[in-house]
């Protein structure tokens, strides 16, 4: 490995302690690992890779790279109503990676392992002539047959979203120097929302039995709601003025519609967008207070009118918002940024 740290050193000294002594990880000394779900539970599995310069700026600190990689995966598990348990880590490291980088990267993972109650199960380490990239496979547990899918939204469901939307898109624009956020506190908040997303690990499992369909917001609110619509064969209308925006986002965006559109479509929020029948409204309110996560009802699902599921955005006077995407986006091919 680059600069005096070889692969086996890296695994033994840095990664093996992250297994927390879990028997199934076999101390990272075997070809594979094992996990056994609790009785009545099934394993929920997801993978997400991130690439330097594509999914995070090349200047991102190693601990933030680690946290981001883990948290985007935790978010997928949460959105399915499952509890995370463990993960594998595949690393493609360029020559610029040295021991300091490895130590900082591992400290980022260790902190989040404690926060989220997960451990490392195994992985793979290779060198690359390309940019740093890492891929995590995450495993969680859901009650048998209770994983919340994208495909089970009904017509006339309410549409909800957790937390606030658009902060991370503004934060990334600020980090990249494309957006000036004058207030230092607002800037730190917005950039923090990009660098250290907060996966909704307590909300997701609490939605089991209440949410009809759900997805995490990684591609953008409109796109991810669109994924639910495409999978479920419904359309949706959301009201822009009901979408929850943070104080910092409101101060930055003021009355610029292109910037509002950026919030709705920007992505990297790692909130949960879900649908539930109107009969579940009281339960959704209880779930918000029990988990301490704000949940906003932002619209509803409607029948598909012209054969293609679509998401439309409306303003306070119920007009379709003339945004960059025309306020109306179809999800025929359901292609995403990935």
| Contacted entry of ligand ADP, Mg ion, none for residue 217, CB cut-off 5 to 8 Å set by kind | none
Residue closer to ligand ADP (CB basis): 120 or 238: 120
Exposure class string for 312-333: b at 16+ Cβ within 10 A, else e: bbbbeeeeebebebebbbbbee
Q: Where are the alpha helices (DSSP H) in the chain?
A: 7-9, 62-79, 99-116, 167-175, 184-195, 203-206, 221-232, 247-253, 257-265, 281-291
Residue closer to Mg ion (CB basis): 8 or 34: 8
Q: Is 6 in the site for Mg ion (CB under 5 A)?
A: no
Q: Which of residues 55-94 bind ligand ADP (CB under 6 A)?
A: 89, 91
| Contacted entry of Mg ion, ligand ADP, none for residue 201, CB cut-off 5 to 8 Å set by kind | none
Cα–Cα distance, 119 to 42 (Å, whole number)? 18
Q: Is 15 in the site for ligand ADP (CB under 6 A)?
A: yes
Q: Is 203 in the site for ligand ADP (CB under 6 A)?
A: no
Closest CA to 273 of 244, 302, 253: 244
Number of other CB atoms surrounding residue 32 within 10 Å: 9
Residue closer to ligand ADP (CB basis): 42 or 99: 99
Task: Provide, rounded to whole angstroms, the least separation between the CB of residue 90 and ligand ADP.
Answer: 6
Q: How far is CA 116 from CA 93, 96, 137, 250, in A?
A: 25, 30, 15, 30
Q: Is 97 in the site for ligand ADP (CB under 6 A)?
A: no
Q: Taking contact as CB under 5 A, which single stretch among the options 77-85, 118-126, 131-139, 253-261 is the one that binds Mg ion? A: 118-126
Task: Give residues with Cβ within 8 angstroms of 280, minimum separation 6.
Answer: 158, 210
Q: Is 144 in the site for Mg ion (CB under 5 A)?
A: no
Q: Is 156 in the site for Mg ion (CB under 5 A)?
A: no
The residues binding ligand ADP (CB under 6 A) are 11, 15, 28, 30-31, 89, 91, 120, 122-125
Q: Kindly list the residues in this chain that would bind Mg ion in the complex (CB under 5 A).
A: 124
């Amino acid at each position: 490995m680059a600069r005096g740290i070889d692969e086996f050193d890296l695994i033994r000294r840095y990664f093996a302690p992250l297994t927390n002594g879990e028997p199934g990880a076999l101390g990272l000394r075997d070809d594979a690992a094992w996990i056994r779900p609790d009785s009545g539970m099934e394993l929920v599995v997801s993978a997400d890779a991130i690439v330097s310069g594509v999914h995070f700026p090349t200047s991102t600190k190693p601990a933030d790279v680690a946290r981001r990689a883990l948290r985007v995966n935790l978010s997928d598990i949460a959105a399915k109503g499952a509890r995370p348990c463990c993960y594998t880590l595949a690393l493609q490291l360029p020559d610029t990676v040295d021991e300091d980088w490895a130590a900082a990267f591992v400290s980022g993972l260790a902190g989040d392992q404690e926060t989220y109650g997960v451990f490392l199960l195994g992985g793979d380490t290779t060198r690359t002539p390309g940019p740093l990239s890492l891929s995590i496979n995450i495993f969680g547990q859901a009650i048998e047959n209770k994983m919340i899918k994208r495909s089970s939204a009904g017509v006339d469901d309410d549409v909800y979203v957790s937390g606030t939307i658009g902060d991370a898109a503004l934060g990334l624009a600020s980090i990249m120097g494309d957006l000036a956020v004058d207030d230092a506190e607002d800037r730190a908040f917005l950039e923090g929302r990009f660098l250290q997303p907060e996966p909704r690990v307590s909300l997701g499992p609490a939605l089991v039995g209440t949410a009809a369909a759900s997805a995490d917001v990684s591609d953008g609110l409109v796109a991810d709601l669109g994924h639910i619509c495409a999978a479920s064969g419904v359309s949706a209308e959301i009201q822009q003025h009901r979408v929850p925006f943070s104080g910092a986002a409101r101060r930055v965006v003021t009355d610029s519609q292109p910037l509002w559109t950026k919030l709705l479509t920007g992505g990297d929020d790692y909130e949960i967008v879900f649908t539930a029948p109107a009969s579940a409204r009281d339960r959704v309110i209880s779930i918000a207070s029990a988990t301490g996560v704000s949940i906003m009802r932002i619209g509803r699902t409607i029948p598909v009118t012209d054969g293609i599921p679509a998401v439309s955005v409306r303003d306070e006077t119920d007009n379709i918002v003339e945004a960059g995407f025309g306020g109306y986006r179809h999800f025929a091919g359901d292609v995403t940024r990935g």
